[in-house]
Structure 1
Amino acid sequence: MNAPVSSGPCVVVAGGGTAGHIEPALALADAVMRMRPDARIVALGTARGLETKLVP
């Protein structure tokens, strides 16, 4: 599978299980997108943690 090519940075955020790990990752992703709208954000987490409900 070919991913779309972006000229911006690719940022990976990881956190899972509790909101204490997820909320900072979401805040970081939001800040990156405000500074670099062309950025690609990839979120990593668990299959059953709270991130399944909080991460868009």
Structure 2
Amino acid sequence: MKVIFAGGGTAGHIYPAVAIARYISQEAPDSKFLFIGTKQGLEKELVPAEGFDIT
């Protein structure tokens, strides 16, 4: 399964998306995730710290 998450600017968008990605990765370990966000938002640091790719 491939999943794209889009959003950012605040942690209110990022933390729920990360939680969903973690859940999906437990249920479907072969899943791939991509987060799309802003260059200035918190997601730039939070998403990689959780082990996910962001562009």
Under TM normalisation by the shorter chain, which class is it? 0.7 to 0.9
Alignment of 1:1-56 (within 5 A): 9-56=1-48
Paired letter, 2:38? T
Q: How many residues align?
A: 48
Higher CA-based Rg? 1
Root-mean-square deviation (CA, aligned residues, Å) is 0.7
Percent identity, aligned pairs only, is 50
Structure 2 regions of 5+ residues with no counterpart? Answer: 49-55
Aligned equivalents of 1:14, 1:40: Cα separation in 2: 14
Greater helix fraction, Structure 1 or Structure 2: 2
TM-score, with length taken from structure 2: 0.82
Structure 1 regions of 5+ residues with no counterpart? Answer: 1-8
